[in-house]
Amino acid sequence: MKQHSNKMINLAPSRKPFTLRLSLCVACALGLSSSAAFSAEESTSQVSGAFSQARQLDSSAISSDTETQQRVAELHQQATVLSASAAITQKVTREQMMALHQKEATTKESQQQRVLAQQNQVVYYDFSFYGADSFLLEDNDYDGFHQTFSVTFDADINSSAGDIQSDVFAELYLSQDGGPWIHYYSTDVFSLYSNSGDDDYEVLTTLASGYQTDHYDVLIDLYELGYADPVATISSDESNALYALPLESSDRDAVYVEEIYIETEHSGGALSWLTAGLLMMVAGFRRRLINKK
């Protein structure tokens, strides 16, 4: 078993892709190509005390430190509003989410999506993750455990058929110290273009409640729209950047101000007699000086 440490390691992504399966299908000039609109917008979601904001990145979407701080502040405002009205939700495991997608794949809508894809283009291709990164962003009490972090990943389509586009979405999970994978975010549908390096996807997350101070691994399942099973997966097994993130929810990241009280103890009677004696000595000393004059 891996030994967790307080230090998060970010490694440059390997050129070797992480591939889950080879699928006969499609690519997607679905009449759903309007899904590209999702990539230009940010979405916010809350699952089991985790609030996330996501967006697809391009060369113009790289954030400066100031912009990142502004986005974190916006996420906190949204989390505050959503927390006030959100019902308490049970944490959902990866197995439960996969079963849900299996059920959804049998719906009429999903079947139509698959038929449309196959009518447009039938080629052999598969999906892979080129890499993933994580960034620790907010630690108010400076204990080394962060309430806000981001995960950025680059997924690709691999095919010898030339340029291919596909509409996909991702499910993100956290595992506390080697425990079960717990779902914390579902992305919107976004588009992949072959093995483009200009379609990274970023998920910014604040853990508001329910997450103990510990080390968490990250797993990402990529789904092709309309299909039941993940088409690619990347986790802490493949990327050190997704391994042992020191995290805690914001209710454990409070800053405590220690107040210092100085209490002076004295004995009232003893102090009074001492003061009176000193005054008498001063008075006697003055009389002597006057008599000498």
Q: Which two tokens stand for residue 144?
A: 């080394």
pTM of model > 0.75: no
Residue ranges of the chain with per-residue pLDDT less than 70: 1-48, 59-63, 83-89, 117-122, 256-279, 282-293
Gap between the Cα atoms of 39 and 9, Å rounded: 28
User: How high is the pLDDT of residue 11?
Assistant: 37
Gap between the Cα atoms of 196 and 89, Å rounded: 37
Tens-place pLDDT, residues 154-193? 999 988 777 788 899 999 999 999 999 999 999 999 999 8
Tens-place pLDDT, residues 14-27? 444 444 443 333 33
- In order, the DSSP letters of 227-285 are -SSEEEEEETTT-GGGS-EEE--GGG-PPPPPP--------HHHHHHHHHHHHHHHHHH
Phi, psi of 52 (to 5 degrees): -130, 150
